[in-house]
Amino acid sequence: MEERAMAHFETLRQDMRDEVKRRIEQRDKYSIQLSIALAALIAVSFSRPGLRTVLIAAPLVSIYFTVLILYSYRVHHVLAKYLLEEIEPELAHLCGITVSKEWENYYQTQKIPGIRKRFFLAALWVVSALSLVYLWLAERNQLGWPLLLVASVVYVGADVWITCHFRRE
């Protein structure tokens, strides 16, 4: 019976570890896509003076990819918590070893800064602020202040919500 339980928990652990690895790869791909999308948007907007108003989409692009990245971090956190609190204690018990020898338990004791998650939140704010300030200063007449006001309120509101919603972990 213990062998079946051990095999079951080992399978679960392997599935969770594989999913964590996929989440890390996914975030790397999203960050590359975010960079390319913003670079393309900036290139198009400054290719001709009449296209500079395209920058109004920059915060939307940043919001979209940042939410994907931060949601991936959230799922990663849930997977790690499941490994830490459920799977590893059972495996340690079945093997007769201390749980501190298991990977997630060991990893949790390390001081890992989480700078990338904060970087994505900061980048979201920088993209929104720079594009909106530029549009207010240089393209207000082209876009009109009502549209800029609505866009500013929506984008800043979304940035605040995203920051509050995803900052918790």
Best CA proximity match to 68, nearest among 41, 20, 33, 99: 33
The residue behind tokens 């997977």 is 79
Q: Write the pLDDT tens digit of every residue in 69-116.
A: 999 999 999 998 999 899 988 888 888 888 877 877 777 777 776 678
CA 57 to centroid of chain Cα atoms: 19
- 8 A C-beta contact, residue 67 and residue 75: no
| Residue of 93, 81, 87 lying closest to 10 (CA atoms) | 87
Domain boundaries, the chain: 2-166
Task: Please write the tens of the pLDDT for every residue from 5-48.
Answer: 888 989 999 999 999 999 999 999 999 999 999 999 999 999 99
Full-model pTM:
0.88
Q: Please name the residues in contact with 66: beta carbons below 8 A apart, sequence gap of 6 or more.
A: 34, 120, 121, 123, 124, 162
What SS3 class is residue 169? Answer: coil
